[in-house]
Amino acid sequence: MFHPEVVLMDEPLGALDKNLRYQMQMEIKELQRKLNMTVVFVTHDQEEAMNMSDRIAIMNNGRIEQLGAPKEVYESPRNVFAAGFLGEANILDFEDLHADFRRHMGLNPGECLFIRPERVVLAASSEVPADRPRLGGEVLNVSFLGNIVRYQIQLSETVRIYADSTNLSDAQAFSVGDRVSVGWKRPEDIRIIHHD
């Protein structure tokens, strides 16, 4: 019987619908575990990459931009390319933010603030103390996506970010046109990253 040590799978599930694709991902993982083999799984589907991997390599023009465990790569991207490639990302350039906020965050030219939409916390502008550094904006769009509600917030004429809220009955809801304050719960929810 043939027992390869390494198997290359190049987008093997690309033509399947979402539900069947997930079932096949579980079967491949189980097979890999039972046969104790290394699988190099090539995919452009970020969710699939995180589900299937012990380690993820994000590649750009034949070069590895970042290599690590899915949680590490998702939550601590090394640069703007890695942040934007894996999952939804809000990336705010130095120039996008007002001077007081940049100073408060310790942001320097050539750096960006990075935060995932699910880490963004929205509050009505009137609920946030005026002396606290914050970003303010207006709800531009509200999308119901089943388990989450995605808000698009206009921070300035050219800058927009996304905020995801769980679809729970006690979650605060906002409507298009509402003025909101944009923040986060923990310091580690927002990171400073560098341009490529």
Series of mean pLDDT values for 10-residue runs along the chain (196 residues) = 81 85 91 88 88 91 94 92 89 87 87 93 74 80 92 92 85 90 87 83
Q: Tell me, which fold does domain 6-85 have in CATH?
A: Rossmann fold (3.40.50)
Comma-separated ranges of CATH 3.40.50.300 domains in the chain = 6-85
What integer pLDDT is reported at residue 47 of this predicted model?
A: 86
What integer pLDDT is reported at residue 188 of this predicted model?
A: 87
Comma-separated ranges of CATH 2.40.50.140 domains in the chain = 90-194
What integer pLDDT is reported at residue 128 of this predicted model?
A: 61
| Superfamily designation of domain 90-194 | Nucleic acid-binding proteins (2.40.50.140)
Mind giving me the DSSP string for the chain? ----SEEEEESTTTTS-HHHHHHHHHHHHHHHHHHT-EEEEE-S-HHHHHHH-SSEEEEETTEEEEEE-HHHHHHS-SBHHHHHHSS--EEEEGGGS-HHHHHHHT--TTEEEEE-GGG-EEEEGGGS-TTS--EEEEEEEEEE-SSEEEEEEE-SSS-EEEEEEE--TTS----TT-EEEEE-SSGGGSEEEE--
What integer pLDDT is reported at residue 98 of this predicted model?
A: 81
What integer pLDDT is reported at residue 37 of this predicted model?
A: 87
